[in-house]
């Protein structure tokens, strides 16, 4: 998209099915690297990522040619498959349906990251 300039910063949050605490701290780095690869592979900029045992937070610089819902769908689907293949949980791992998304101005990014 020639001559297009955007600054779209989105904070995305999605949770483990039933808000179960299934993401163990020893898997945080590997999970975050995996998610970073998915987001980068979609040609989006992952500014920050953090997770807790029951949820993931991503701050993304979103390009206007990709729907946010498509990106989150791909992240969640691929992560579920990755976690299940790694057998990090007993039984089948899945994410809760849906996600939260919040937009921020560039001047707010440092606060959001903290």
For the chain, which residues make up each domain, given as ranges?
9-113
Torsion angle in degrees (nearest 10) through CA of 36, 39, 45, 50: -40
- For domain 9-113, the question of CATH label 3.30.70.1290 is answered with yes
**Tens of pLDDT along 40-66?**
999 999 999 999 999 999 999 999 999
Judged by average pLDDT, the poorest of 4-8, 45-49, 76-80, 98-102 is 4-8
CA end-to-end span of the chain: 33
pLDDT one-digit tens code per residue, 14-23: 999 999 999 9
> pTM for the complete prediction?
0.92
């Amino acid at each position: 998209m020639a001559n297009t300039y955007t600054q779209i910063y989105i904070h995305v949050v999605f949770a483990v099915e039933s808000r179960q605490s299934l993401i163990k701290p020893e898997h945080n780095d590997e999970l975050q690297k995996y998610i970073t690869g998915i987001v980068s592979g979609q040609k989006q900029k992952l500014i920050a990522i953090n997770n807790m045992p029951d949820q993931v937070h991503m701050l993304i610089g979103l390009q206007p040619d990709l729907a946010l819902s498509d990106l989150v769908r791909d992240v969640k689907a691929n992560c579920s498959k990755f976690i299940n293949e790694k057998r990090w949980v007993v039984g089948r791992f899945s994410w809760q349906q849906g996600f939260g998304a919040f937009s921020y101005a560039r001047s707010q990014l440092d606060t959001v990251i903290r």
